[in-house]
Structure 1
């Protein structure tokens, strides 16, 4: 395939690549596997990521990302005028665009920016917005991270699905960690992180009472417990930490960049299938990952340092926000004693 044809994928030194990033924390972490793949194949390439402003603190911890272009559009908002302004600012600066989300609107900025080669999976009637269109074989590309990496490879290579997946690795800021520990009043005890949230819905959330029971057992074993999450998880964090010694509800009290460093400082974390699970995996902390309605085969923690807790019931995975059977046994039957044993055995 020649350089003057859509879909050309490499060879030129200093190729300028625009990646339209995803809108979820976990997906943005997994996108680093694509960035690593691009840099490994084209070390002199320059990668710019179009992403929501919140994700800058994640992207700035990735050595492979050279620049972030903020897309100030709310989740689910179309924002045509905003996309046009961004496209105008990007015009003439890129050789290729890789569009990770499969929505129509996500492919609009590279098209309006007149980027010559625009790569993405077909979907949502966006055929005319892309000129390097890929068919998504969900059996071959059976994980989210595989789909991201595949878009950075030649079509014939990505279609086989047997390519390597480099693991994400986020850089830590030790100075910020020291400041966080002082400001939040954390102790010198070895720390266990807990992430009770899951943006997708309650069918992915282990019961708060189980988190609290586990926290109580961990404190007895000499650990400090840090409950992490965003403003939406403040009440959940309080339900876990209330009146428990050495247990800190940090939900809503930290920036995303702080959470990266605090998770890197933990010995282990206990987490639902969530964005912060992928952050913890990417900073090298041991992950105790709890799966209910989702599948560890589809969105696993991208680390060898993980223990997956998944019952694999006949009704799992259903991928629903709430349990369609009304019992959520895939989570309710995962008892705190099992997780505590796994932590203490690690």
Structure 2
């Protein structure tokens, strides 16, 4: 290993260690393609990529000073590949060459040294900003006869070359931005240039891939492969993506030499449109048909930090379902308190579920492992400094939330609060960031018919004693009915439920005996649920169970049940729960049953 190679590797390692923003992009790209490999494997590949990038930059700087003989010693090409490409370039047909971003690709400008052809040839490149550098680049790269064609003004010249039966090379695997076709690459949304396909279709050109296979430090083998089958512009575009994807997935040496640090998949990420897919050049349907797929792979990583209370968790469900429809490429990960995870899984809400660590001095140390999952967009539903810092700490580049009285400096984008129902606030938040799909408020259970079940009673509240209907009123309802009743509650509600059930034969007390999953199952067995304003109310409503909801000091317009299941809401005019009369509740029970 010579001094230049040691220096090249050292600079690459420094870039990997110190350029942390770019490293994050690099590792996120690798995770999106090689998510099934270990983090250590991806980090080794990332370090190798940085070294190869520096080597490519070094070649760009010193290759202008190489002689023809020095170039020929550093580039080789198999005789079969050379013969195939020369035969095409000497025929009457023009040639379009697709060049991927593998390291040492700069050496393509020396191809006239190893190929025998007489027709004009050029390569389309991205011009540089400084004129004196631009002049130097053109002078040094064109010295062997390959003409550099600016992407800004060289398209007419490229067409002229093809019209003469010449060859034009195009770097086809860059992010094409708003002008490109919205397709997929490695299963993820990507903007792809259609230029090579358009040129090949217009001039009926032969199409080849030409790429560098690294043999050693500043030494490469040029490999040529024909693009077979595709003739029209669209098919050439889709097939070239598929070809490169196959190379990256099957060859470790090539994957380590590709330019992973550029933002190949940065598309559909405008904050105000992030929660929908919208492009004037949307070719996703055509891409799926070409690949033989029925639907998009869910590989765009959206994370949602769930609220801390059961009722709020349930009220967020319509938003998650809407996002799932609005972004069919989204893999939705729900970050929630550990005891909510089994319920969310049972209800099939979200695609992945991660528990928040237990609070304590090691909280963020345990949260650190989630950084290696590389979320791309993070929506935080709680309004707390802790949840904001979690989003920042985990490293999501886009972090959305609602801005209330205080600023939220750890979020990248916010929506200013208006006075609405809690779910409607979240709807407005999601719409602010591009959601078009209207939340589905139909119950999670498609049908509900359980008139013979017991009547459920949720006598307690999670955090607010003033929201509780008096024990005497509960007992009056139970004594006045011949139906069987079941009392639900947490461990903290045991005393209240014991007082309600004392001495009554037609009641079963299950307070403190259920987890959330079994609680949901038992709610579904009820013919009706009478409930205070609490999380269980929202869960019963979401499951399609008819409810009679009792409201005192809380605001129905902000925290009322939202799903379209049968419901009756009784609101105390005095804000006191004691003023809601049992006879009024009994009347509505009879009506719903």
Q: Distance in 2 between matches of 1:297 and 1:104?
A: 26
Q: Distance in 2 between matches of 1:206 and 1:191?
A: 20
Name the residue aligned to 1:191: 454
Task: Say whether the 8 Å CA contact 2:418–2:425 is kept in structure 1.
Answer: no
Residue 90 in 1 paired to residue 356 in 2?
Answer: no
Residue 146 in 1 paired to residue 424 in 2?
Answer: yes
Residue 309 in 1 paired to residue 587 in 2?
Answer: no
Cα deviation for residue 124 of structure 1 reads 7.5
Unaligned runs of 5+ in 1: 173-187, 317-329
Distance 1:153 1:199, change over 3 A: same
Instruction: Give 3-state SS (helix, strand or coil) of 1:134's partner.
Output: strand
Task: Say whether the 8 Å CA contact 2:456–2:488 is kept in structure 1.
Answer: yes
Distance 1:235 1:252, change over 3 A: same
> Per chain length, whose mean CA-contact separation is higher, i.e. which structure has more relative contact order (CA < 8 Å, sep 6+)?
1
Instruction: Give 3-state SS (helix, strand or coil) of 1:127's partner.
Output: coil
Deviation larger for 11-20 or 37-46: 11-20
Task: Find the partner of 2:333 among 26, 48, 58.
Answer: 48
Q: Distance in 1 between matches of 2:563 and 2:381?
A: 22
Residue 18 in 1 paired to residue 303 in 2?
Answer: yes
Which is greater in Rg? 2
TM-score (norm 2): 0.48
Task: Find the partner of 1:29 among 298, 307, 314.
Answer: 314
Task: Say whether the 8 Å CA contact 1:104–1:123 is kept in structure 2.
Answer: no
Q: Distance in 2 between matches of 1:155 and 1:54?
A: 29
Name the residue aligned to 1:211: 474
Cα deviation for residue 238 of structure 1 reads 1.0
Cα deviation for residue 164 of structure 1 reads 3.7
TM-score (norm 1): 0.80
Name the residue aligned to 2:539: 279
Cα deviation for residue 155 of structure 1 reads 4.2
Task: Find the partner of 2:553 among 293, 298, 322.
Answer: 293
Distance 1:294 1:4, change over 3 A: closer
Which structure dedicates a bigger proportion of its chain to helix? 2
Q: Distance in 2 between matches of 1:270 and 1:63?
A: 26
Task: Find the partner of 2:408 among 127, 135, 155.
Answer: 127
Name the residue aligned to 1:334: 580
Task: Say whether the 8 Å CA contact 1:88–1:112 is kept in structure 2.
Answer: no
Cα deviation for residue 157 of structure 1 reads 7.4
Instruction: Give 3-state SS (helix, strand or coil) of 1:270's partner.
Output: strand
Residue 345 in 1 paired to residue 587 in 2?
Answer: no
Q: RMSD value over aligned CA atoms?
A: 2.5
Instruction: Give 3-state SS (helix, strand or coil) of 1:240's partner.
Output: helix
Unaligned runs of 5+ in 2: 1-177, 179-266, 279-295
Cα deviation for residue 310 of structure 1 reads 0.8
| Deviation string, structure 1 residues 56-78 (Cα, Å, up to 9, x no partner) | 1221133341111111234xxxx
Task: Say whether the 8 Å CA contact 2:306–2:380 is kept in structure 1.
Answer: yes
Task: Find the partner of 1:236 among 486, 496, 503.
Answer: 496
Q: Distance in 2 between matches of 1:52 and 1:168?
A: 25
Task: Say whether the 8 Å CA contact 1:84–1:109 is kept in structure 2.
Answer: no
Task: Say whether the 8 Å CA contact 1:189–1:224 is kept in structure 2.
Answer: no
Cα deviation for residue 189 of structure 1 reads 5.9
Distance 1:157 1:97, change over 3 A: closer
Map 1:62-73; keep pairs closer than 5 Å: 62-73=347-358
Paired residues in the alignment total 302
Name the residue aligned to 2:184: none
